[in-house]
Structure 1
Amino acid sequence: MTTNNNTTHFAPELHIPNGTHSIDFYLQFGATEHFCFRNDDGSIHVAELEINGAIFHVHETMRWMDALEPISAKGVTTVIGLFVSDVAEVMRKGIQAGAIEIQPVTDHDYGYRQGMFKDPFGHYWQIQKKLG
């Protein structure tokens, strides 16, 4: 299910280290690849992916705009909030694909069920659902 071009939506761009040849984690996590452009050495320049209508991009680091991926930044550069119907199942898929659990699935007083993992490139994903 591709997002309608006439709707407003976010499409985050997650930077990955230059020279990255595989983004299999995202495919094993359940993303569909729309396209992937590679550099002459076969490394990934940019890829467009989708998870149930949520489009995002992975892109090699662009030093000219001072963009860093989490590994070279030595920390979190952003947290991707992904709303899903089954938080526990999506967390399980992420961890099975190679992510590291940061916070287990928990129901919070503010009305959200959330869990968090870090993907192999250092990006933090908050998997969530609004309760009630």
Structure 2
Amino acid sequence: MATKQITRFAPELHIPMGTHDIGFYLDFGAIEHFCFRNDDGSIHVAEMELDGATFHVHEINRSSNALEPISAMGVTTIIGLFVDDVDAVMQKAIQAGAIEINPARDYEYGYRQGMFKDPFGHYWQIQKKVE
């Protein structure tokens, strides 16, 4: 009997061509499942996992008209990540090299949220539903 595949969301975070170091994500606590590099050693694509959440870090592909935040000169998406301890995850990200955008706080709509920007310009909203 075949196991039913669970639908999961796996964002692809674009990085500039020629990027050699994605250590921020490892320092933040992600596990690298694989990393394919170009002939010059720069990263083509890496599959990462953060507490069961899979994401890919991929160099931009000009033929698909894709941009990363630095060349787009702005936010291209916000990655929402639900966690058990918003404050601990925010602190770990900042220690790994992220820049805090909004400190963690409780909102009237029932969420505790904080936001940071990673070294490639991607915004991450760290959140938890609070009772």
What stretches of structure 1 move > 3 A for 4+ residues in a row?
A: none
Matches within 5 A, 1:1-132: 6-132=5-131
Higher-Rg member (1/2): 2
RMSD of equivalent CA atoms: 1.1
* Letter in structure 2 aligned against 1:122: G
Question: Following TM superposition, by how much is the alpha carbon of 1:104 offset from its aligned partner in structure 2, in angstroms?
Answer: 0.2
Which SS does the other structure have where 1:105 is aligned? strand
- Provide, for residues 77-128 of structure 1, a one-character-per-residue CA deviation record: whole Å limited to 9, x for no partner: 0000000000000000000000000000010000000000000000000000
Gaps of at least 5 residues in structure 2 are none
CA distance in 2, matches of 1:52, 1:113: 19
SS of the residue corresponding to residue 37 of structure 1 reads strand
Distance (whole Å) between structure 1 residues aligned to residue 6 and residue 130 of structure 2: 25
Amino acid in structure 1 at the alignment position of 2:114? G
Q: Return the alpha-carbon distance in structure 2 between the equivalents of residues 112 and 91 of structure 1.
A: 15
TM-score relative to the length of structure 2: 0.97
Cα displacement (A) at 1:5: 7.4
